[in-house]
Structure 1
Amino acid sequence: MGLIEVFSPDIYDVILFYLGIVILIAVLFPRFLSDYIITEPVVYLLIAVAVFSIFPVSPLPHLGEAPVLGKRLTEMGVIISLTAAGLKLTRPFSWHSWRYAARLLIITMPLTIALIALLGWRFLGLAPATAVLLGAVLAPTDPVLASDIQTTPPQSEDHSNTRLALTTEAGLNDGLAFPFTNMAIAMVLVGSSPSLWFADWLIMDFFYRIIVATLIGLATGWLLAKIIFNCPKPECHSSAISVGLLTISLTLLPYGLAEIFNSYGFITVFVAACAFRYQETTHEHLNVLHDFSEEIERTLIVILFTILGIYISHGFINDFQWYMLPAALLIIMVIRPLTGLIGLAGTELRRSRKYIISFYGIRGIGSIYYLLYAFDHAGFEQSREALAIVTTVIVLSVFIHGLSARPVMDRWAPE
């Protein structure tokens, strides 16, 4: 038996070995990074790109050509993070929690979609449907990568209006991007003229799915809270692991039921977590549920950035064009801050807080999910270009927002 026969690893085994090492790093790194401005996603992305650039060919198929795996993994990352975000809200259904996020959702988000779509269509040369899709996927802020700017854990009071606004916005705008993503899909499948799809889109994709998703979230969150908090301890496993595993049920049960009823699971999961949180504000299980969901989220971030790193080290090189860099900077540094300030105009927030909320529109895993979801449902023109633009925005956001978030939030929006 020769050396070549002994050392002939399958690429699948190599990836598993890599993930084992990086997940170990994910567990240990927070202890070492707490005093530094560098964030975990930055480290994971750099490691993935460095390691997989060594490979002569990509170990995974191109994301744009085989979207199913990436779609499912990003989907799981988003719904877990939405559960964690919902559990953080001390007063999930009070106007105090939503007074700023409501403006960001009603004013800022549609404006962002419109301006990015206009940029894509008129200046980047994208087809109308692809331009609308670009606006839809880049408008929502990302709950997965926003831990440094989100509000406090369950047992702490929400002292920072800035953090609270960013948490509530990220919790719902991921779900509210769905109608506009479906609008882009309808434009591809039916035609660009609104007369061909607008009525069905408004009734089904906007009203029905949002309303049903909200109702299912309220019902499942309430029911799960009654079951979990009233379960007698002698008959229940009370260990931290057993309690933590309930997070998976709190995530998957509402999400699965929402998808069965053809509604928006992202909205359902966040609303269910809020309803669950509303039923009990002091229960000892809350912190365990929240912490367990964040641990799962941290593991999924490693896997997701491994996939993104593989794409960047191979397919992205061929898809990228230099005009994408200024376009991405325009989206991050101008469009989102401008629409954020418009949305918050007239509020009693201090000017510095308005600037922070408007600037920290982190883009990340949710954008990749929506893009791959759309690719899986329709054949978009210039799909590779759209994927490269979104990836450029995400990479810049990871570095610009990631490296600045901790010092800025500690200085201007402390907990």
Structure 2
Amino acid sequence: MRSLHLGYTLVGVLAVLLAFWSSAIRRAPVSEPLLALLLGVLAGPVLGLIDLTDQRMAGLTLETTRILLAISLMAVALRFSATAYRTVLRPIGVLLVAGMAGMALIGAGLAWSVLGLPAALAVLLGACLTPTDPVLASSVVSGQPAEQSLPARLRQVISGESGANDGLAFLFVVLALIAAVPRPAGEQLFEAAWGVVGAVLVGLTVGYVAGRAVRAAEAREQVDKGSLLIFAAVLGVAALGIARMAGTDAVLAVFVTGLAYNRMIGQESRASEQRLDDALTRYLVLPVFFLLGLELPWRQWLELGWPAAAFAVAVLLLRRLPVVVVALRPALGMSWRDAVFLGWFGPIGVSALFYLTYSHREGAVDPRLWAAGTLVVALSTVVHGTTATVGRRWYAAR
């Protein structure tokens, strides 16, 4: 417990320091997740201050990533009005259908050809690395610097895609587990189908009921704006729990809940929830990346050798950028500048960690899966964290 309490202390101190210099961090070529990752590396592998068992670490990672995704997906769903999201349905739909399929295939192909993984394990790794992370993407598209440098439409597309594909990646992962883990195929097919259908049903129901309740409370002047901010956060956690009890895709259910809730409440009410981005997700992300820094599998990376490094670099360069810029740009209806920015800023982070941990719990225990996946997440955190400010300035200058 002493190690765990020391971790609380370090993360808390980091959060306080970042709160003091929050505006400066937004303009600097670093990000909050990157700083938390470096602190975890320093406290764990470098200084040896914190040493948790693998089983305990896996449980902490799974639950912290699940809760963080719930709150961050609520923030994504409420970042723009429901009308604004409807205007970008076409590009988001293209990215969710053709884009996700292309990224999953390329990730699997790289895992098979560069790492030499068996085909089933390569497909599973490609599926885990497919979703664009909403937490890391928030540092690119939210805040005053992003609003000044990037058009609203581009930020809406990145936000909408990062929210939706996190949940839809569950379908890819479950289908990949059919080949990777010896379980009845019929059972997993039903799990995949109910995961999507059930998530939509749960999300629509919870979001509608919550929205009606807020509107009724506001009509009687029984709720203040601060309460609405907290309500949006705990609504995400509630939707997560309900979806888990229903045995469906909890991540997708939370995002659908946020969209339904967004649709039900008025523009005036939504102004309070919109602050969820900066008020919560910037700091709730810190424990997850701190944990990642503690458990980075350095020894397994060394055992994999240069193919692991080549795989991580290839994933960042080839998994998304060619798909968006070359294959999908005409269907997206975007300029070259927009397509390049959208293609590059598809970071891999919390959602990938969640699916890697989930796959391990479901029986995919090959250590190469976790080693290669975490190397990609760590590299994406560093690269996308340091290029966010530069990328926005490049976009504005063009």
Common topology (TM > 0.5): yes
User: 2:90 maps to what in 1?
Assistant: 99
Match of 2:214 in 1: 228
Match of 1:295 among 272, 279, 287: 279
Q: 2:312 aligns with which of 308, 317, 328?
A: 328
Does the Cα contact within 8 Å between 2:94 and 2:331 map onto a contact in 1? no
1:117 deviates by: 1.3
- Aligned-pair CA distance for 1:171: 0.7
Q: CA contact under 8 A between 1:52 and 1:313: conserved in structure 2?
A: no
Give the TM-score taking structure 1 as reference length: 0.85
Structure 1 residues 53 and 380: alpha-carbon distance in aligned structure 2, compared to 1, 3 A threshold: closer
Aligned counterparts, 1:3-402, within 5 A: 10-56=2-48, 59-62=51-54, 67-91=58-82, 95-150=86-141, 159-190=151-182, 197=185, 201-202=188-189, 204-232=190-218, 236-238=222-224, 240=226, 242-284=227-269, 286-292=270-276, 294-312=278-296, 321-341=305-325, 342-381=327-366, 384-402=367-385
Which 5+ residue runs of structure 1 have no aligned equivalent?
A: 1-8
Q: Secondary structure at the match of 2:268?
A: coil
- Which 10-residue stretch deviates more, 288-297 or 76-85? 288-297
SS in 2 for 1:34: helix
Question: Would you tell me which structure has more helix in proportion to its own residues?
Answer: 2
- Could you tell me how far apart the structure 1 residues matched to 2:174 and 2:16 are? 38
CA contact (8 A) 1:62 1:315 kept: no
Q: Which moved more, 1:93-102 or 1:166-175?
A: 93-102
Please report the TM-score for the alignment, with normalisation by the length of structure 2.
Answer: 0.89
Q: Point out where structure 2 has 5 or more consecutive residues left out of the alignment.
A: none
Q: Percent identity, aligned pairs only?
A: 22
Is the contact made by 2:3 and 2:49 (CA closer than 8 Å) also made in structure 1? no
Structure 2 CA distance for partners of 1:95 and 1:297, relative to 1, 3 Å: closer
CA RMSD of aligned residues (A): 2.8
Superimposed CA distance per residue, residues 63-104 of structure 1 (whole angstroms, 9 cap, x where no aligned partner) = 7x8522210111111111100000012235864122111111
Alpha-carbon separation, structure 2, partners of 1:376 and 1:97? 36
Kindly state the Cα deviation for residue 118 of structure 1 after the two structures are TM-superposed: 2.1
Q: 1:4 — aligned with what? A: none
**Separation in 2, partners of 1:387, 1:146:** 22
Higher alpha-carbon Rg:
1
Tell whether the 8 Å contact from 2:229 to 2:276 is kept in structure 1 after alignment.
Answer: yes
Q: Which amino acid aligns with 1:78?
A: L
Determine the structure 2 residue equivalent to 1:6: none
SS of the residue corresponding to residue 274 of structure 2 reads helix
Count of paired positions: 393
